[in-house]
Each structure stands twice: as C-alpha cells, then as structure tokens.
Amino acid sequence: MSNKRSNGEGTITLRKDGRWMARYTYNGKRVPIYGKTQKEVKTLLKQKLKEIEIASEKGYTNYIEKSKVTLGQWLDIWLEKYCKTSVRAHIFMV
C-alpha cells in the first residue's frame, strides 16, 4: 500500500540543495513552501491548507496570503465587512 496523498493535499520532496519543498495547488497555480526539515515543511503545508479551508468556509472566494494583500485590497475587504455600502460609495465618489 502506498502513502499517496489525495488530490489537493500537495507534495513534499527533498531538493538537491538539501532543503525540503512542499507544493500545493490553489486556483490553478502551484505554490511552493520551503524549509530545512521535512517535519517543518509538513507543518507549514498543513497550516497553509487549514488557512485556505477556513477562508473558504467563511465565504471568501479568493484566498489571498496575508503577506501579499495590498492596502487597497485590505481596505476593500474591511469596508465590505464593517461598513455599509452607502458609506463605501461616498468614500470613493470623491
């Protein structure tokens, strides 16, 4: 019996330079995660997949990594979540 992962769970491999790399697919793109040990990469991969799962449960259709969110995107998310649509329209009508 093999230890094959299910579709969408990602892969973990040892690179020639000695680092471990995990990859997962999200929105049709392969996203790599690097680390010094296999255990570290496995933990990071689980955390990332859990973040994506939580975001999809909350109804977010496009998950954006925390480090890649621009100020404009963050403001859009914040305004949608905490402000009424009439307030948003007035802010951007200037």
pLDDT tens digits, 47-81: 988 888 887 777 776 666 666 777 887 787 777 77
Question: Model confidence at 25, in pLDDT bands (50, 70, 90)?
Answer: confident
Instruction: Decide: pTM greater than 0.85.
Output: no
The correct CATH number of 7-61 out of 3.30.160, 1.10.150, 3.30.70, 3.40.50 is 3.30.160
Question: Model confidence at 1, in pLDDT bands (50, 70, 90)?
Answer: very low
Can you give the residue ranges of every domain in the chain?
7-61, 64-94
Choose among 74, 40, 53: nearest CA to 9. 53
Q: Look at 81 and 17; give whichever has higher pLDDT.
A: 17
Structure tokens at 39: 């255990």
What's the CA gap between 63 and 4, in Å, rounded? Answer: 26
Q: Is residue 41 exposed (0-12), middle (13-18) or buried (19+ Cβ within 10 Å)?
A: buried
Q: Is residue 14 a contact partner of residue 53, using CB atoms and an 8 Å limit?
A: no
